[in-house]
Amino acid sequence: MIKIETCLTPEILHLHQLEGKIAVVTDVLRATSCMVAGLNAGVKSVIPVKKVEEALTYAAKGYVTAGERGGVKVEEFTIGNSPYEHMEEAYHGKSICMTTTNGTVAIDAARKSADQVVIGALLNVSSIGRYIKEQQKDVIIICAGWKGNPSLEDTLFAGALVDQLKEEVEITDDATYMALSQYQSAKNNLSEVIQNHASHAKRLSGLKAQNDLAFCATEDYCDVLPILNGDEITIK
């Protein structure tokens, strides 16, 4: 039976063993939602980097750059951290180098020892579920959280994924059980719960951000499986 565990924040990732496991990294608001939506729309690949300076070296080589610090677009970058920007036709067929406060940090932590790193969001949660059932490997869900603290929306993603797999996995830690029951009590009004209770939702204001929030809370908007190969995330 597949074993599944959840790391609610990268701050405690050192307590988990990643070797031999599929790491599913999520940052629902909004890094991994951008990646999933962009790749689904036609973006060729996403190159996640930890630092703004690294992204700027990609910019110098002509890459599209994307991302934020503290929720605000980095001035020099082409685009920010709204999934709608990542879906624009101008970037179809292009590679986007991306860095964010939490999401790309989590990917970087995962890639060091996990067997595979796949990119999850509520937008593609069923694709991830199907892939794990095919692979039959142990799984760790890594929630990006917010500056080291657990976040509601990422925990809900973890719960949504576990809910799909619950007949076929052994839950090995309390965080996974808690994520599952959190999701089960919120699943009928996921968008409302995130908009009303996620502290990150309160940090995002304005009409554009409201649209982003509603979009990122959509389960199974698309059917893509973004996976990290070397330095690039592409659709499998």
Residues near a second copy (CB under 8 A): 8-9, 11-12, 15, 146-152, 155, 172-175, 177-178, 181-182, 184-186, 197-200
Nearer to a second copy, 57 or 199 (CB): 199
Question: Six-digit token pair at 101?
Answer: 């406060």
Question: Six-digit token pair at 10?
Answer: 């990268």
The sign of the torsion formed by the CA atoms of 120, 13, 163, 81 equals: negative
How far is the C-alpha of 154 from the C-alpha of 72, rounded, in Å? 20
Nearer to a second copy, 127 or 176 (CB): 176
Nearer to a second copy, 56 or 209 (CB): 209
CB 32 within 8 A of CB 119: yes
Nearer to a second copy, 174 or 220 (CB): 174
CB 202 within 8 A of CB 194: no
Q: Name the nearest CA neighbour of 63 among 27, 110, 99, 100.
A: 99
Nearer to a second copy, 164 or 184 (CB): 184
Question: Six-digit token pair at 190?
Answer: 């996921």
Q: How far is the CB of 4 from a second copy (least distance, A)?
A: 13
Q: How far is the CB of 230 from a second copy (least distance, A)?
A: 31
Q: How far is the CB of 152 from a second copy (least distance, A)?
A: 4
Q: How far is the CB of 2 from a second copy (least distance, A)?
A: 17
Span between the terminal Cα atoms of the chain, in Å: 24
Q: How far is the CB of 74 from a second copy (least distance, A)?
A: 23
